Chains A and B, each alone.
Chain A
Amino acid sequence: MSTIFTLIVILGLIGAATFLVGFTKGVREAVSEYRNPQPEGAWSDEGHYGLSALFAVVASAVVIALVGVAPAWIYAGPLLAIVTATGVGVAFLVGNRRPSAAPGPKA
């Protein structure tokens, strides 16, 4: 086995473990919320994603373009796919935002 393949297997296992830890936390929270529903309270959703979105789009384009520059970049896809699994696990671990203190709107 080559070094890169071994690395991908090891990182894949770490990514899968992170995912499953997060998933388990998410299931526990969903069940807990169902059994003890809490008022969500007032909320806002005002984050700005323009620059981040631009970065994501450009980054994906650059990674694909780099595959045409050197063969080592072929492995960027598998490595990033592991980042996806890890990222979903992290999303569980980061968890939900707390309700803001802002008052709700008039109906």
Chain B
Amino acid sequence: MDKSVLALTNGLSPGLGFAIMVGLGVFLLALSFAIKTTLVRNTHDFIIADRKVGFGFGVGSVIAVWTWAMAVMMSSAMTYQWGLSGVFWFVVPNGFAVIAMIPFARILRRNMPQGYTISEFVKYRFAHSKVASGIVTLTMIFGILLEILINLKGTSVVISTVFSVDWKVAAIVGIVCVLTYSYFGGLWTSVMTGTLNTLMVTVPAAIVVAAVFEHVQGGAPAVFDAVAAANPRNLSVLRPDAAAGFGITLAFGLLAATVADQTFWQKVWAIRGPEVSRTFFWAGALFYPIPICLGMLGLVGIAFGLTAADIGGDIAAVGPYVVSHIGLPLALVILYVLSILAACYSTIDGASAALSSVVAVDIVKRYWPATKEGPLFVITKLSMLLGGLVATLIVLSGVDFTTLVLTTYALKTSILLPLVLAILWPRTNTVGFVGGVALAILIGMPIYETQGELIGTLSIVAISGITVVIAGYAGSARFDIASLRRVGDDIASEAPAAIAQPAE
């Protein structure tokens, strides 16, 4: 296929790009005002939605926060880079990571019904250890900042690729739009707007991807033949280089990204108790089609023989480039941009809501427990703005945020197994937990740096897990997880209308 036929769709002006970004933001802001007026009274409502998030909103919002810019753009990029093996290794662990939350979520939602954050669980699980809970709090904050950073970057990539807008301006407009609407309603806003964004990520994406193949001369069969001609291995899901190159490492990273992420734990404690397990199952299963659908754009990139230079140097832009250059009508390009923006906005929004819970519960209430409801509510809301500001400054500074990525990766991968064992294994103790994380970073990270991602990741996971197990058998204490039922509500300024009691 001749890539010289690819040309930017007419009418994609910078003004249109800004109008789409701001228009979506204003629509969500109007929704946010209505939600604030109707459903939010205090900090408890703001950060945990009074634990009344039902099944439908649970499924929609979990899909929304998991549909990162990564899922919508990197699925195309991985397909473009590795063929079907790329989308295979990108997609299969992605949905499973959400489903893998079920056993842990079920245990903590049942045994700690008044919980808010995973750091709060660690605090009570390890006898108020400031080191243990501090490590987890720090990990959550780094993880949240990274989520905002990556999705902000995603917003700027798509807007700058499609509308030729300066990526820095796009990043600023994007963060202002998201923070403006998420500031007002907290978790309820995040849940409702996120669920609506799930609709915008799915149906428009399906129509646009089908339309792209409609606009290729010869349609899907021609793309199929061209991809095979470029390299027959592109049509196989069994390329070992894709598995070793990124697949296995990504699988562990994705597990850490859910199990060790407050964005998901906030949902666990906000969703109605009986709905938690099936919510995470439905969300994981229903998430799968989104990256599979958008990943198909990567095949078009291969078929046309696009190079990284053709699409601006960043292969994440292959999807936006194909959609905006294949000859689609302007309306369909706008629909695609709205899909990507919906994914980015909802993830940033969800991350900001998670940050508000960490700040309220793990920082303000922990270190200044006498803080009254009024100031707490203000601080909680301002923390979302602060998080967005910090992330934006990092993106705008142009610095390579590899250090932040690596630090977050090291912390998340290091706490993955200790956290899992803290939930599942009564013998897990403070020494093992803290020692496991510390040794995994001190020994595992140098291995990661010198031996590569695969060996490094496996080493980090193994070191942290083995340390916890050794310390557990060395000690005699056993933790009764049911004792967490005595943990009170650290935030509620007034008694919640109804406190759910789990059945045995």
Contact = CB atoms under 8 A, between A and B. Distances in A.
B109 interface: yes
A96 B498 CA distance: 16
Contacts of B59: 87-88, 91
A2 B214 contact: yes
Which interface residue of A41, A68, A72 has the most chain B CB atoms within 10 A? A68
Contact of B84 (A4, A39, A67): A67
Nearest to B38: A31
A8 B207 contact: yes
Contact of A81 (B92, B196, B221, B290): B290
Which interface residue of B195, B289, B292, B502 has the most chain A CB atoms within 10 A? B289
Contact of B486 (A20, A68, A72, A107): A107
Contact of A29 (B54, B102, B504): B54
Given A30-B54, A43-B502, A91 B284 contact: no
A94 B501 contact: no
Interface residues of B, number: 81
A91 B199 contact: no
Contact of B503 (A5, A104, A107): A104
B395 interface: no
A4 B38 CA distance: 43
A97 to B, nearest CB: 5
Contacts of A103: 503-504
A60 B84 CA distance: 12
Contacts of B295: 64, 77
B274 A91 contact: no
Nearest to B96: A57
A92 B55 contact: yes
Interface stretch (B11-19, B275-283, B367-375, B402-410): B275-283
Interface in B177-215: 188, 192, 195-196, 198-199, 202-203, 205-207, 209-211, 213-214
Contacts, number: 257
B95 A57 contact: yes
B220 A72 contact: yes
Nearest to B84: A68
A77 B54 contact: no
B109 A27 contact: no
A61 B278 CA distance: 22
B91 A64 contact: yes
Interface in A77-100: 77-85, 87-89, 91-97, 99-100
B110 interface: yes
Contacts of B110: 45
Interface of chain B: mostly helix, strand, loop or mixed: helix
Nearest to B199: A19
Interface residues of A, number: 77
B57 interface: yes
Given A42-B503, A56-B99, A60-B95, A80 B236 contact: no
A75 to B, nearest CB: 6
A8 B205 CA distance: 11
Nearest to B188: A30
Contact of A87 (B58, B196, B273, B286): B286
A97 B503 contact: no
B219 interface: yes
B500 interface: yes
B56 interface: yes
B55 A95 contact: yes
A90 to B, nearest CB: 9
A22 B91 CA distance: 27
Given A39-B498, A63-B292, A92-B56, A75 B220 contact: yes
Given A61-B92, A81-B293, A96 B272 contact: yes
A49 B281 contact: yes
A61 B99 contact: no
Given A40-B498, A102-B504, A60 B198 contact: no
Interface of A: 1-2, 4-5, 8-9, 12-13, 15-16, 19-20, 22-23, 25-27, 29-31, 33-34, 37-45, 47, 49, 52-53, 56-57, 59-61, 63-65, 67-68, 70-72, 74-85, 87-89, 91-97, 99-100, 102-105, 107
**Which 6 residue pairs across A and B have the least CB separation, nearest first?**
A92-B56, A37-B497, A104-B501, A80-B289, A77-B293, A68-B235
14 contacts: A5-B211, A30-B52, A40-B273, A45-B273, A53-B99, A56-B95, A56-B284, A64-B295, A75-B213, A78-B207, A85-B198, A97-B274, A103-B503, A105-B501
Given A27-B192, A53-B102, A81-B290, 9 more contacts: A30-B39, A33-B52, A64-B237, A65-B88, A84-B286, A84-B287, A84-B290, A96-B55, A107-B485
